[in-house]
Amino acid sequence: MGQDNPESGGEFEREPVPDAALLGNGKFWGMYAGEHTAGTEFMIGPLFLAAGASLSDLILGLLLGNVLAVLTWRFLVVPIAMSKRLTLYYQLERIAGSTLVKLYNLVNGLLFCFLAGAMVTVSASAVGVPLNVTFDVPSNMLGLGNLSFTALVAIVGVVIAVVAAGGYERVARVANIAAPWMIAVFAACGIVSLGQIGAGDVTVITEGKFWSDAIAFVQERNGFGEFGFWKIVVFAWLCNGAMHFGMADLSIFRFARSASSGWAPAIGMFLGHYMAWIAAALLLAALIKLQPELAVGADGTVAANPGRLAFESLGWAGILCVVIAGWTTANPTIYRAGLAFQGILPKSSRTVMTLVAGAVATLAGAFPNLSAQLLGFVGTYGTILGPMGAVIFVDFFLMKRCGLRDEYAHRTGVQINIAVMLAWFLPVAVGLYLIFVQGVFAAYAVIPCWVACGLLYLIVSKFTQTAANTEPTT
Amino acid sequence: MNQITKITSLIALGLIVLPSLLFLAGVIGLGATKLLALIGTLAWFAATPLWMSR
C-alpha cells in the first residue's frame, strides 16, 4: 500500500514537498508495479473462482474495474496531491483536528494489522506445504485452524514483526528486489496452470468447461455463490478504495513532478489486479482439475491454500514466491500500523509499537477466515477509511465556493472538527450495518458512504462553522 | 561486473517464464519447468542485489 517512509530523513511530514524534492514518473511506475503484485493476489484470485465468477466476467470485469481505479487515482487524487503537496495525515489534521486524526490512525492501524494478519496466513500456508501442515478454514468465523497451523502462524508472525521493527529500509530493499521476480512467477504460474488444464488447445479456453467444472466442484462443497460482472467491476475498482477515494496516496503523489505520474497505478492494476489475480485463479482451477483432493480441506470444503496452489504449479519457486509475497506485504503494513499507533502515543517507541502491531497481526492471522474473507475485508476497509477522502475532496474543491472555511481545524485550533466526525461516523455506521447485518457486498458500500460523507461534511459545516473568533491563518 | 549481474538477472527471469511457455506448448514436462524456475529464482536473488540500487 502506498505510504511514505518517515524513517528516512527529509520526508516533509508537516510541510509541503518543495520543488527540489519532486520525483519523475519512473519512481512511481516502479513503486506501483511492486506494490500491487503481492501476497494478497495469491489469495484474492482463487477467491473469485470459489465465489462463482465466470471466466468471461472475470476477464472483462477486471478490465473495466481496473480502468476505473486508474482514472480515480489520476483525476481524484493527483490534482489535490500536486496542489497541496501534503501527506494524507497532515492534510486531514488541518481539516479534522489532531484528536480526530488520532482516532483515524487507530482505526487505520487496526485495519492494517488485520490485512497484515491475512498475509501472515498466506506466508504460513506456504511454509506449511513442505512441513505437511494443512491449511483448514473452520466454518466458525472466529475458529482457529489446526494446532500445527496456528503454531506456524505464530512463528511466521513473530519473524515478520521482528523484521518490521528493525526498520523500513531493509524491508523496502527486499521488496524492491523481489518485485520483478514475483511478477514473473505469477505469470509463470498462470501459464503452467493453462498447460495443466490442457489449454495448449485454445478451444479449452474458449469453451471454459474446466472453469465451470471448477465452480461446480467448489459450490457442491461450499454452497452456492455468485459473483457477477458488476460485482467484479466494483471490487476491482474499489479494493484500493482507501488509497484513491480515501486519498491515502496523497502521501505518494505529493512528490509528483508531473500529473502524468498519476497514470502509474495502471502498471500495478494490470500486472497485479489483472494478470496476477487471473493467474492465481487459474492455479485453483488447475488443482481442482488435476488433484481435487488437495483442494478440499479436512472439513470437506474447498479452501484456497496459496502455498499448495503455487507448489503444484511451480514447485519450490512457487512456495518461495508465496512466502516472500506474503512477507513483503505484511512487513510494511505492520510497519505502517506501528507508525499509526505511535501517532496516537507520540512518546512511545516506534519499535515497541511495531511489535504491538505485529502481535495483533499475528493474532489475526491465526484465524484463517480472515484471509478466506479477504474479498469482503478489503471492501470493508474501503468503506471505513474511504469517506475521509470525501472530506478532503470537499474541503479542497467546495468549501470556499460555498462560503465556508477550508482547513477549519488549522484555522481555528479545534482538536475535533465536529462536521468531519459526524460526516465520517454516520455513513460508515450505516455502511457497516448494511455489510454485517444486511449482508450487502462490502465493496458496494464504498462509494455511497463516500458521497454521503462528503455531502454531510458540507451541510454540517454550514451549521458548525462560525465567523466569530476565527482569524485567518496561512 | 554490473553488466554481467544485470544479464544474469534477465536470464533468471527468462528461466522462470520461458519454460512455462514451453510447458504450455508441450515441449517440456512439469518437473523440468519447476526445476528451471527454481534455478532462475536462485540466480535472481544471487545477482540482483549486486546491481539493484538501494
Return the sign of the alpha-carbon dihedral for residues A354, A361, A47, A232.
negative
Q: Please give the pLDDT value at position A139.
A: 67
Q: Which residues pair with A256 in a beta bridge?
A: A23
pLDDT tens digits for range A255-303: 999 999 999 999 999 999 999 999 999 999 999 999 998 888 877 888 7
Q: How far is B47 from chain A (nearest CA, A)?
A: 10
Q: Do B16 and A185 touch (CB under 8 A)?
A: yes
Would the pLDDT of B1 be above 80? no
Tracing cell 482514472 back to the chain, one arrives at A71
Q: If you compute the radius of gyration of chain B from its CA atoms, what whole number of angstroms results? A: 12
Return the sign of the alpha-carbon dihedral for residues A308, A330, A39, A179.
negative
Q: Which residues of A touch B23 (CB under 8 A)?
A: 191-192, 195
Query: Vertex A353, ends A352 and A355: CA angle to 5°?
Result: 65
Tell me the ipTM for this assembly. 0.97
Percent above pLDDT 90 for chain A: 55
Phi, psi of A20 (to 5 degrees): -65, -20
User: What is the grid cell recorded at B4?
Assistant: 554481467
A321 closest CA partner among A126, A121, A125, A161: A126
CA distances from A115 to A118, A124, A270, A276, A378 (A): 5, 14, 21, 18, 8
> Across all residues in chain A, what is the average pLDDT?
88
Among candidates B16, B34, B52 on the partner chain, residue whose Cβ is nearest the Cβ of A184: B16
Q: Please give the pLDDT value at position A74.
A: 97
Chain A residues whose C-beta is within 8 A of a chain B C-beta are 169, 173, 176-177, 180-181, 184-185, 187-189, 191-192, 194-196, 199-200, 314-318, 320-321
> Across all residues in chain B, what is the average pLDDT?
94
At A224 the three-state DSSP class reads coil
Task: Answer yes or no: are the C-beta atoms of A145 and A153 closer than 8 Å.
Answer: yes
Q: Which residues of A touch B48 (CB under 8 A)?
A: 177, 180-181
Task: Answer yes or no: are the C-beta atoms of A240 and A6 closer than 8 Å.
Answer: no
Task: Answer yes or no: are the C-beta atoms of A191 and A278 closer than 8 Å.
Answer: no
Query: Vertex A225, ends A222 and A231: CA angle to 5°?
Result: 140
Q: How far is A187 from chain B (nearest CA, A)?
A: 7
Among candidates B13, B33, B34 on the partner chain, residue whose Cβ is nearest the Cβ of A181: B13
Taking the alpha carbons at both ends of chain B, their separation in whole angstroms is 17
Chain B interface mutation, best of A186, A189, A191, highest count of B Cβ atoms under 10 Å: A191
In this prediction, residue A3 has a pLDDT band, given cuts at 50, 70 and 90, of: very low
In this prediction, residue A472 has a pLDDT band, given cuts at 50, 70 and 90, of: low
A117 closest CA partner among A331, A353, A347: A331
pLDDT tens digits for range A191-240: 999 999 988 778 888 888 899 999 999 999 988 888 999 999 999 999 99
The Cα A452–Cα A174 span in angstroms is 41
Q: Please give the pLDDT value at position A141.
A: 67
pLDDT tens digits for range A4-43: 444 334 578 888 999 999 988 888 888 888 888 888 888 8
B12 closest CA partner among A317, A379, A28, A430: A317
Q: Do A317 and B25 touch (CB under 8 A)?
A: no
Lowest-pLDDT range, A131-145, A177-191, A204-218, A233-247? A131-145
Q: Which residues of B touch A173 (CB under 8 A)?
A: 49, 54
At A162 the three-state DSSP class reads helix
Q: Which of residues 20-49 of B touch A (CB under 8 A)?
A: 20-21, 23-26, 30, 33-35, 37-38, 40-41, 44-45, 48-49
Lowest-pLDDT range, A82-96, A145-159, A308-322, A440-454? A145-159
Among A129-133, A361-365, A464-468, the range with the most confident prediction by mean pLDDT is A361-365
Average pLDDT of span A383-405? 95
E-strand ranges in A92-231 read none
pLDDT tens digits for range B27-42: 999 999 999 999 999 9
List, in sequence order, the alpha helices (H) in B1-54: 2-24, 30-51
